[in-house]
């Protein structure tokens, strides 16, 4: 680095101001990549799975740079995931302090009353503390189920599923339809696309 040999792995480097080489060749920062994936059901959000299950990275095999997910969806959930190699950008999306809204379409196992949906709007008590108030909109009822949209500004593990369980119901289907102002739109399940400059700025 700047003509000095560095052997300490935790040495701080500023690639904008310092010249870094490896075996005499200059190292350059990787091009920043921002992708939106429509995750299918049955895929885990990890690089490798000890059980041999399919991972979301199987859907990104032709991406030239190594990317990681800014947030997760569990095995049985579908919908939007953002992938990037920009750590600061990912932190802004996942940090509880950022309050980035995420919207889900939920199919509940029972008919939910207006009062039960109001409980979600006010916030419910979970094992790891009360949730923030959520935006909730009933989409429709069938003869047995309730379909509703919920927007939360937290990113706890299995949060929407656990919130619904406090009402005495189960989530039968969960689709993340929006992250911030980004929507699924025409994106097909199992496919990905680059984020637009406007979408990136909206999450920055």
> Cβ(83)–Cβ(70) under 8 Å?
yes
Provide CATH code, domain 34-96+181-203. 3.30.70.580
Can you read off the two tokens belonging to residue 96? 């509880």
pLDDT for 2 beyond 80: no
pLDDT at 30: 72
pLDDT at 28: 60
The three state secondary structure string of the chain is CCCCCCCCCCCCCCCCCCCCEECCEECCCCCCCEEEEEECCCCECCCCCCCCCCEHHHHHCCCCCCCEECCCCCCCCEEEEEEECCHHHHHHHHCHHHCCCEEEEEEECCCCCHHHHHHHHHCCEECCEECCCCEEEEEEECCCCEEEEEEECCCCCCHHHHHHHCCCCCEEEEEEEEECCEECCCCCCCCEEECCHHHHHHHC
pTM of the model: 0.84
pLDDT at 8: 64
Domains 34-96+181-203 and 101-179 share a fold: yes
Mean pLDDT, residues 195-199: 96
Please state the domain extents for the chain. Answer: 34-96+181-203, 101-179
Cite the active site residues. 74
As a whole number of angstroms, the distance between CA 60 and CA 147 comes to 31
Mean pLDDT, residues 91-112: 94
Percent of the chain with pLDDT over 90: 75
First to last CA, the chain: 31
pLDDT for 35 beyond 80: yes
Beta-strand pair 78-84/34-39: antiparallel
CA atoms within 13 A on the CB side of 144: 3
pLDDT in tens, 134-173: 999 999 999 999 999 999 999 889 999 999 999 999 999 9
Q: Which of the listed CATH numbers 2.70.98.10, 3.30.70.1560, 3.20.20.150, 3.40.630.30 matches domain 101-179?
A: 3.30.70.1560
């Amino acid at each position: 680095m700047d003509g000095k040999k560095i052997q300490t792995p935790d040495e701080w480097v500023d690639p904008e101001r310092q010249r870094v080489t490896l075996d005499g060749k200059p190292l350059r920062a990787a091009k920043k990549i921002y992708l939106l994936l429509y995750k299918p059901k049955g895929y885990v959000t990890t690089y490798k799975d000890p059980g041999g299950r399919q991972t979301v990275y199987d859907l990104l095999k032709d991406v030239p740079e190594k990317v990681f997910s800014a947030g997760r969806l569990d095995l049985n959930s579908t919908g939007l995931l953002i992938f990037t190699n920009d750590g600061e950008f990912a932190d802004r999306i996942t940090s509880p302090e950022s309050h980035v809204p995420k919207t889900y379409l939920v199919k509940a196992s029972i008919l939910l009353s207006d009062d039960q949906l109001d409980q979600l709007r006010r916030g419910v008590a979970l094992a790891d503390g009360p949730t923030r108030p959520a935006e909730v909109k009933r989409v429709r009822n069938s003869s047995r189920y309730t379909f509703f949209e919920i927007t939360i500004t937290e990113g706890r593990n299995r949060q929407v599923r656990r919130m619904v369980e406090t009402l005495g119901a189960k989530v039968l289907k969960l689709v993340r339809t929006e992250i911030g102002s980004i929507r699924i739109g025409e994106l097909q399940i199992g496919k990905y696309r680059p984020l637009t400059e406007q979408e990136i700025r909206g999450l920055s």
